[in-house]
Amino acid sequence: MAKRKAYKTTTIARAKASASKERSARIAKKEKASREAALILKHVLSVGCPTCDAAPGEKCNLATGVPRTKPHRDRRWTAKD
Ligand SMILES: [Zn+2]
């Protein structure tokens, strides 16, 4: 009579569950980061820019008048104070 070997296996369901848990943790981390970034941007925009003289609440502008996608570094430093 052959003895049945007991293999320690991870079931597919279990593997899937742990993978999705990992994924949701990663998404939560990402969401937190973007929420913080939005908060920082809001904070940065609450002060004027010393570099391009953008008024509080306005985006930074390039010398050509084209809005920058990101505020000037000096503005971020100013907002920190
Ligand atoms: Zn600026």
> What's the pTM?
0.53
Contacts of 55 (CB under 8 A, 6+ apart): 48
Distance CA 56, CA 48 (A): 4
Distance 75 CA to ligand 1 centre (A): 6
| Cβ atoms of 60 and 68 closer than 8 Å | yes
What is the pLDDT at residue 1? 63
Distance CA 81, CA 79 (A): 5
In the chain, where the domains are located: 37-81
The predicted-structure confidence for 7-65, as pLDDT tens digits, reads as follows 777 888 888 999 999 999 999 999 999 998 888 888 889 999 999 999 999 989 987 87
Distance 60 CA to ligand 1 centre (A): 4
Task: List phi, psi (to 5°) of 61.
Answer: -120, 150
